[in-house]
Structure 1
Amino acid sequence: MAEAHQAVAFQFTVTPEGIDLQLSHQALTEIYLSGMRSWKKRIVRLKNSVITGVYPASPSSWLFVVIAILATMYTRSDPSMGLIAKIQEHLPVSQSMSTQCQAVLSAVLFSTMLWLLLIFTMRLCLKQLLSYHRWMFEQHGKMSTTTKIWVALVRIFSGRKPLLYSYQGSLPNLPLPTVKDTVKRYLESVRPLMDDVEYERMTKLAAEFQSSLSNRLQWYLKLKTLWASNYVSDWWEEYVYLRGRGPIMVNSNYYGMDFLYVTPTPIQAARAGNSIHAFFLYRRKLNKEEIKPSRIPGTVIPLCAAQCERIFNTTRIPGEETDTVQHWQDSDYIVVYHRGRYFRLRVYQAGRLLSPREIEFQIQRILDDPVLPCQGEAKLGALTAGDRIPWAKARAKYFSSGVNKRSLDCIERAAFFVTLDDDEQGMMGDDPVASLDRYAKSLLHGKCYDRWFDKSFSVVYYKNGKNGVNGEHSWADAPVVAHLWEYTLATDSFHLGYNAEGHCKGEVDSSLPRPQKLAWEIPKECEEQISQSLTVAQALADDVDFHVFPFRDFGKGKVKKCRVSPDAFIQMALQLAYYRERGTFCLTYEASMTRLFREGRTETVRSCTNESSAFVRALEGGEAADVCRRLFNAASEKHQLLYRMAMTGGGIDRHLFCLYVVSKYLGVESPFLKEVLSEPWRLSTSQTPIQQGELFDMVNHPEYISCGGGFGPVADDGYGVSYCILGENLINFHISCKHSCPDTDAHKFGVQIRKALHDLMQLLSPNYKEPKKMEATKPEDKKDL
């Protein structure tokens, strides 16, 4: 193969006349440029480490302190109160150095120590300031004097032009709640779900736990908080994600969709060219830490950026007992899957990133390549979709040496994974509702073998130009991938763009080496394991029922006019919809982030409360509108309180989880913790927030909006509901459940959600009239599909 010869830097043969040495100038040039690129990255990382290490000061501030101290010395004053003289006495310098030089050197050393002390003090002050969270509990628009002073101080101590990781050393540690508070709030959260007898039994179990094991388990957690920067995150990653032995497809991985109403180009290779180029532009900014630190919208409060470190060049490695997450510093290629073949596509040539047009050219080469898959290659990806133990054993047995190891290493070390799908997806045809459902299922599981579910994220490009992303969950949460996805969509359409024919802009270097097809030697025994994994994955995929719908009748604009939090409004609608469908309430999970703290991930908001259940019962019982409005406001305020407590370290579920982990380490059983951790979340919900609204013009170009993303159901007899609030007039919903459960139906639940939204708006705004016909798309948008 031509590409194999190009990879050889030199060849030599021994002849009677001597050694015939043949050097490949092109290969040596590539080696040189690759080395230069690697060293440039190391220098950038070193520079950024220095800048981040001294933040909120700057390296140049050291020179300012030195000059200031030296200037005071010439005015015959001693700001060091004798310390410079003490340093001069103990300087291990040559006697040949003059007294003046020794004094200057001593002053520089003192200035450096003073500078480091100032940095430490500033970081300590910033850390204490960022530990203040009372501002979050104040009424909107009514900021206290204390909070105003606090905001001013945060701005003063935050420095200027922070890099992505500048705040990491100043973020506070996640606080450890008391067992008493956690148990009290837990019992309050389950009260609407239990009758008097069950609640009395649970209260006794909780009291027994508090009087026996709790102090011992809490002591170990207190010890961990002193040692670790976050007492939850490492155990959460390991025990919730990496130790799971079932399939991660559907059960763990999640997806994100393309623009809802427009497709920038119908050419598959062109769409791939622009967006792959955009992904690498983001990675370049990430490596240089040029991405602005994420903040709570409308505030100066930074969020932890630790999860960003493993976006690219990362994969999940299967193990028999537990998986591991492996991250590499750099990778100059991606792996592309098309019609059962795997290709290595280098995106750097002669030290430069390929242009979008050149990447399109290379992608088209893969699409046109007639070569057939190797034996066993076509459905190899099913190993990542099935159970983890068979995959781990197969990996150790069949992929630990030879050509299979080299090809697997290539996939795992790639920047990310790409699938070129022959299907057409998106909102299209005469039945846009059904087409959106198919689109969601395709992104979540595909054909169960045409994605590499272990990669940190995989990108899918469809035949009609639509795309989407599938994310692995263990290394980071969805907002991190969503941030990358927003940047990519915006850069693809608004900055790179396409020419009149729909191709990427720019010229092509036709001498680019062809993408290299990966080679495999798959034995029959491995093919049997692939087939078994595919059977498991296919059964799981076929069982998933999905319904995606855009709700356009009103959005957050109208909800805010009712003086209600849009998130609380939707959560109350979900409670109402579930009660109407099932006639009861259930344990409800709403994901909240804890990235106000170092290495924070998520916490649970238990949205089903005494207040929400009282409101739903009153509304369904035909109570007066005034009574229902009063109960709704109480439920909404309670939800907001719980959400804020979860964000500020006052949640209960991660604390209970860690207590349970400690009990397992100690080998002690707690009936209370065992029952708490085994309770099913029949309604698992999550909001996908828009983090970079400035990248999109939702006023002039509302059609350029993503449909958000979704995930599979957490419980076999429950629902997974993801929603995305876009602009002022659109809310997208993604609903999942399982066909195997006779009590769940994603489409019927969608109807209940629509009705609940309208009923709540009618309650809060009596003059509101429900539209007679609800459509998935506006008539004027259909021409853009």
Structure 2
Amino acid sequence: MPHSFRPRDEPLPSLPVPDLEITIQKYLQQVEAVAPNHLERARVLAKAFLAGPGPKLQQRLLERRQRTTNWATDWWLNDMYLSVPLALPINSNPGLAARPKQFANQREAAVFLARFLTELLNYQESLDRSELEVERVKSKDGKSLQPLCMAQHYQVLRIYRRPGKEVDTQIVLDRVSSGNHIIVAHHNQFYSIPVRASDRGRVTEAELTQQILKIMEIQADPRTPPVGILTTARRPVWAQAREELLKDDQNRHNIELLERCLCVVCIDDDVLPGTFNNPLRRDDRWIGNRDYANVLHHALHGGGSRHLGANRWFDKTFHAILGKDGMWGLTYEHSAGEAPAVFTAFEELTEKVDAMPPPDGNLIPSHLPAPEKLEWHLSEQSLSDIRDAMTTFDALVEDLDLCILWFEEYSKEFVKSCNISPDVYVQLALQLTYFRLHGQLVATYESAGIRRFALGRVDCIRAASPEALAWVKAMCQGDPESQPTSQQSADQEEGSKREEKIKELFDLAVERQSKEMMDNIMGQGIDNHLMGLRYAAKEAGEPVPDIFADEAYKIVNHFALSTSQVTTRNDVIAGYGPVVPDGYGCAYNLRKNGFIFSVSAFHSDGCTNAMRFAQTLEHSMQAMAAMLKNTKQ
């Protein structure tokens, strides 16, 4: 992990190492909620761990905390991203679709991109000068504001993820030899445009506009090899293919330009067909025949090799995407930073451009050389690698099942009026939804920002709990949507008494989830801790403790629900794919006018279904509101 504090960063505490016994206790509660058949053995292994290697490994973490800025981040980065061999698109890189743009002609679109890039350059230079205002959140006591670590914001435009056969590498780019050009992708071809020159400084908006227009006017060439598709392959496969490319000097030059650019701008002269549309469509907020799901598919993967999937370089952190119909969005490489560091900048820069007056009618002729087209010299092996990547990626794209739900029957203000955290509320709604569909709870991942601590990234807020399980079982008694359970109450209560009992169970689940959320953001989560104990043993060359080799541990870390709250300035659609083949992904945006959910699954699983999940989630949200209204004093 690149460790570069900026001069304006305020001193922050180091991430604490949680209490060992408390972590193990919380772990066993997870086993109770999602793997009850394994609980007895898990307790035996937990006791042996606490009496055996646990305390020694805990001491190593405490010592590591003393000698590092953040004891967890390097290990977490490797565990969460760099050692994962899966393809980046869908599996890792999120997508965002913003409000579509309307342009009268191609020149207006070029001006928009030039202005956005000009603002991005302004932002980059403010980063160079360490000028970002430190973000703050309420402290635990609610009486003061606490600063957050800003390292991600400063680093996100300077990191490139290079594939490896065993593990990927984050390349930290210096500001002398990188960030002074952009790459424009158009018709699967890449072009390099300098945005600064040593003898004259920044290029102007008008010059950028003309450079972009030159690229826009180039017609598609069916002979263009879709080299970008290689970045969609599994990481070890792409690492091998990259080595083949690097045998040629011209290819080496191209890859260096792609690695060292400020960002990739994708000009997409195609729209995805209706097969990517969302059957749950409710209105016509989007343009033409494209709806929410279609545009999110576009942002996530470009529709595969048949459409725009090769018009990307997925290893690069920041991709701005402009479609021929005004689609405006991004995809980004996730190991470099979390969504707030990327989405916020994207939205702020977009707002600045949207507030600018329309462009005037004339362009002053530019004497800049034409954009550099990246020409590739491809061996038979490289051509074979490209064909294989196209086949594999297209299968992944076709497997992705997306559904967007815009829930507007009430908003987070109603939830707050019930003295419940909206995030806690949504997490419990997701538990109810999964139980209704599948008759059990599963390990649930929610990103918990731990930027209160130096170089903090995230830990995992777990929403499956014994309290949540008791509540969803009570909610689902006699529910035709839920599968029957083996523990139906023999003396089922009727009418208001039953409602009061359900509300009591709900209050306990809310209390538990609220504590889980607070524990995590205060550095007391169990996932980084358990990961750290594993890595401490591995680093010392010791056997992995039995507790980590147990089936219960595998189940508890099989995140069949991968979720995150995506807070944006506007009503945008953001999402990602499931993290396991039989799982769901669910991003949610809490808006003043309602809740935006993006749900993903894989068709190939057979048991999961994104539309069915979204419809059931809608019913869960309705049932929870009815429960609260019926039991309100």
Superposition TM-score tier, normalisation by shorter sequence: 0.7 to 0.9
Report what 2:246 is aligned to.
Answer: 399
Aligned residue identity for 1:764 = L
Deviates more, 1:711-720 or 1:512-521: 512-521
**How far off is 1:343 after superposition?**
0.4
- 1:268/1:463 contact within 8 Å kept: no
> Which residue of structure 1 lines up, in the alignment, with residue 235 of structure 2?
388
How far apart, in 2, do the equivalents of 1:647 and 1:507 lie? 51
Native 8 Å contact 1:380 1:530 kept in 2: yes
**1:612-651 mapped onto 2 (5 Å cutoff):** 612-621=468-477, 624-651=498-525
> For residues 322 and 261 of structure 2, what CA distance do their matches in structure 1 show?
17
Whichever residue aligns with residue 230 of structure 1, its letter is N
User: For residue 599 of structure 1, what is the aligned residue in structure 2?
Assistant: 455
**Aligned residue for 2:401?**
545
Cα offset, 1:429, TM superposition: 8.6
Matched residue type, 2:332: G
8 Å Cα contact 1:355/1:506 also seen in 2: no
Matched, 1:737 2:586: no
TM-fit CA distance, 1:504? 7.5
Is residue 583–residue 601 contact of structure 2 (8 Å, CA) maintained in 1? yes
Q: CA–CA distance in 2 between the matches of 1:310 and 1:430? A: 34
Deviation at 1:600, TM superposition (A): 0.5
Question: Following superposition of structure 1 onto structure 2, how do residues 482-497 of structure 1 map, counting pairs within 5 Å?
Answer: 482-494=343-355, 497=356
2:297 corresponds to 1:441 = yes
Structure 2 counterparts to residues 119-518 of structure 1, below 5 A: 163=8, 166-167=9-10, 170-195=11-36, 197-259=37-99, 263=101, 265=103, 267-296=108-137, 300-330=145-175, 331-348=179-196, 351-370=200-219, 372=221, 377-424=224-271, 435-446=291-302, 447=304, 448-494=309-355, 497-499=356-358, 503=359, 508-518=364-374
Aligned to 2:424: 568
Change (3 A) 1:763 1:303: same
More RCO (CA 8 Å, sep 6+):
2
Letter in 1 for 2:519: M
Counterpart position of 2:484: none
Q: How does 1:703-718 map to 2 (within 5 A)?
A: 705-718=570-583
Task: Report deviation, 1:335.
Answer: 0.5
Give the AA of the match of 2:603. H
Matches within 5 A, 1:684-763: 684-690=562-568, 705-726=570-591, 728-763=592-627
Shift in CA distance, 593/505, structure 1 to aligned 2, threshold 3 Å: farther
In the alignment, the residues of structure 1 paired with residue 326 and residue 86 of structure 2 have an alpha-carbon distance, to the nearest angstrom, of 33
Q: State the shift of 1:314 in Å.
A: 2.8
Match of 1:673 among 534, 537, 548: 548
Q: Which amino acid aligns with 1:479?
A: P
Q: C-alpha separation between the residues in 2 aligned to 1:677 and 1:420?
A: 45
Is the 1:460–1:469 contact (alpha carbons within 8 Å) kept by the matching residues of 2? yes
Q: CA deviation at 1:362?
A: 1.9
CA offsets 1:94-113 (integer angstroms, 9 cap, x no match)? xxxxxxxxxxxxxxxxxxxx
Give me the whole-angstrom Cα distance separating, in 2, the residues matched to 1:630 and 1:509: 72
Report the alpha carbon displacement of residue 506 of structure 1 after superposing the two structures with TM: 8.4
* Bigger Cα Rg: 1
1:710, 1:746 → 2: CA distance?
13
Report the CA distance between 1:522 and its aligned residue: 1.2
Give the aligned partner of residue 483 of structure 2: none
Residue 504 to residue 235, structure 1, CA distance change in 2 (3 Å): farther
CA distance, structure 1, for counterparts of residue 289 and residue 427 of structure 2: 23
After superposition, the Cα gap between the structure-2 partners of 1:609 and 1:431, relative to the gap in structure 1 and judged at 3 Å, is farther
Measure, in 2, the Cα distance between the counterparts of 1:408 and 1:222.
Answer: 41
CA distance in 2, matches of 1:435, 1:561: 32
Mapping of residues 53-132 of structure 1, within 5 Å: none
Query: Residue type of the partner of 1:280?
Result: L
- 8 Å contact kept, 1:341–1:372: no
Aligned position for 1:698: none
Deviation per residue, 1:30-80 (Å, 9 max, x gap): xxxxxxxxxxxxxxxx9x97xx3xxxxxxxxxxxxxxxxxxxxxxxxxxxx
What's the CA shift string for 1:291-334, capped at 9, x where partnerless? Answer: 21122269521111111232224311112222111122232210
Taking the aligned partners of 1:669 and 1:761, their CA distance within structure 2 comes to 46
- CA distance 1:236–1:411, shift in 2 (3 Å): same
Instruction: Please state whether the residue corresponding to 1:740 is helix, strand or coil.
Output: helix
RMSD between superposed Cα atoms in Å: 2.5
- Report the Cα offset of residue 708 of structure 1: 3.9
Q: Secondary structure at the match of 2:136?
A: coil
Query: Quick one: distance in 1 between partners of 2:288 and 2:357?
Result: 26
Q: TM-score, normalised by structure 2?
A: 0.87
- Where structure 2 has 5 or more consecutive residues not aligned to the other structure, the ranges are 278-282, 479-492
Q: Partners in 2 of 1:504 and 1:310 — Cα distance?
A: 36
- Is this contact kept in 2: 1:718–1:744, CA < 8 A? yes
Distance in 1 between the 2:188 and 2:428 partners? 46
1:12: which partner in 2? none
* d(CA) in 1 for partners of 2:186, 2:420: 48
Please give the alpha-carbon distance, in whole angstroms, between the structure 1 residues aligned to 2:406 and 2:345: 23
TM-fit CA distance, 1:199: 1.2
User: CA offsets, 1:427-453, max 9 Å, x none?
Assistant: 859998972112111211112322111
Match of 1:534 in 2: 390
Whether the 8 Å CA contact 1:270–1:504 is kept in 2: the answer is no
* 8 Å Cα contact 2:292-2:573 kept in structure 1: no
| Rounded Cα–Cα distance in structure 2 between residues aligned with 1:432 and 1:574 | 32
* Distance in 2 (alpha carbons) for counterparts of 1:194 and 1:391: 36
Distance 2:391 2:571 in 1: 33
Equivalent-residue separation in structure 2 for 1:718 and 1:336 (angstroms): 35
- What letter corresponds to residue 684 of structure 1 in structure 2? S
Does structure 1 residue 609 correspond to structure 2 residue 609? no
Distance in 1 between the 2:336 and 2:40 partners? 40
> Residues 434 and 627 of structure 1: is their aligned pair in 2 closer, same or farther, counting only changes over 3 Å?
farther
Mapped to 2, the partners of 1:450 and 1:603 lie a distance apart of 33
Partner of 2:380: 524
Which moves more between the two structures, 426-435 or 384-393? 426-435
Deviation at 1:213, TM superposition (A): 1.6
2:218 maps to amino acid: D
Rounded to whole Å, the distance in 1 between the matches of 2:48 and 2:624 is 42
Deviation at 1:527, TM superposition (A): 0.8
Q: CA deviation at 1:224?
A: 1.0
SS of the aligned residue for 1:685 comes to strand
Query: Which structure has more helix as a fraction of its residues?
Result: 1
| Identity value in percent | 28
Offset at 1:656?
0.5
1:117 corresponding residue in structure 2: none
2:334 counterpart SS class:
coil
